[in-house]
Amino acid sequence: MRGGFRNTVERLDRPSAYYLNRTILTNSGLQNNKKGRRNDRNNRDEKDGDTEMANNQQPEEPPEDPLRNATTLYVGNLSFYTTEEQVYDLFSKCGEIKRLIMGLDRFNKTPCGFCFVEYYTHQDALDCLKYLGGTKLDERIIRTDLDPGFEEGRQYGRGKSGGQVRDEYRDDFDEGRGGLGRAIQQTERLRESEKNRDSEHEMREDYGRLR
């Protein structure tokens, strides 16, 4: 856990429970194995496009916090129609943006509702968590989380239909994100022939490719 000092109220510039859980799982050799909470030795050396940190570390070394100097933020719950220009305009309020990577649908190459914003400094990224996370962009409440940053090989990781996994089985109608979940839409279309669908529980929303 980070630092011994504790403020009298919660801080908003900490990584989310989502990230911390992931880190704990990864560090204890349980990454990507949420169903069975057992220490499966075979899993430890399996390379997976979606595991990007600490999986080769010796257990006795104290794991170095990969977010200590993080300058990148994951930004989620964007509308599919929100443009780079809008993201730029809002996020520049916390500092100059070094790079912006829009998450794209694997097949259509259109925005699929998330992006990564990279700043020049760690402080700008923290300020962004504190001041912009949970506010609105394009009429939607956006979610921000610190991220260890872009590395080659951390691409893909989408749902079956090419978008984010959360948009597969969503049963509310979200106009900004293509209506109902895609899997549900498909189910409705192919109700007759539809059979056992592999349910995919991997929730990670991951990097998009640049173009």
Residue 104 engages other proteins in binding (rule: CB under 8 A): no
b/e 181-200 (16+ beta carbons within 10 angstroms → b): bbbbebeeeeeeeeeeeeee
Residue 96 engages other proteins in binding (rule: CB under 8 A): yes
In the complex with other proteins, the residue whose CB is nearer, 18 or 156, is 18
Single out the residue of 3, 4, 10, 42 in contact with other proteins (rule: CB under 8 A): 10
Instruction: Name the nearest CA neighbour of 71 among 100, 29, 38.
Output: 100
Q: CB under 8 A: which stretch of 7-15, 45-53, 64-72, 192-200 binds other proteins?
A: 7-15
Residue 210 engages other proteins in binding (rule: CB under 8 A): yes
Single out the residue of 33, 43, 86, 155 in contact with other proteins (rule: CB under 8 A): 86
On whether the CB atoms of residues 142 and 133 are closer than 8 A, the answer is yes
CB of residue 23 to other proteins, shortest distance in Å: 13
Single out the residue of 45, 61, 139, 171 in contact with other proteins (rule: CB under 8 A): 139
Whole-angstrom Cα Rg for the chain: 18
Helix, strand, coil content of the chain in percent (nearest 5): 25, 15, 60
- Residue 152's alpha-carbon distances to 51, 133, 186, in angstroms, are 12, 26, 32
| Amino acid at position 93, single letter | K
CA distance 158 to 105: 8
Number of residues that bind other proteins (CB under 8 A): 43
Single out the residue of 65, 138, 174, 202 in contact with other proteins (rule: CB under 8 A): 138
Residue 18 engages other proteins in binding (rule: CB under 8 A): yes
Site of tokens 């996020």 = 91
Residue 134 engages other proteins in binding (rule: CB under 8 A): yes
The footprint of other proteins (CB under 8 A) covers 1, 6-13, 16-18, 21, 81, 83-86, 88-90, 92-96, 100-102, 127, 130-139, 141, 143, 210
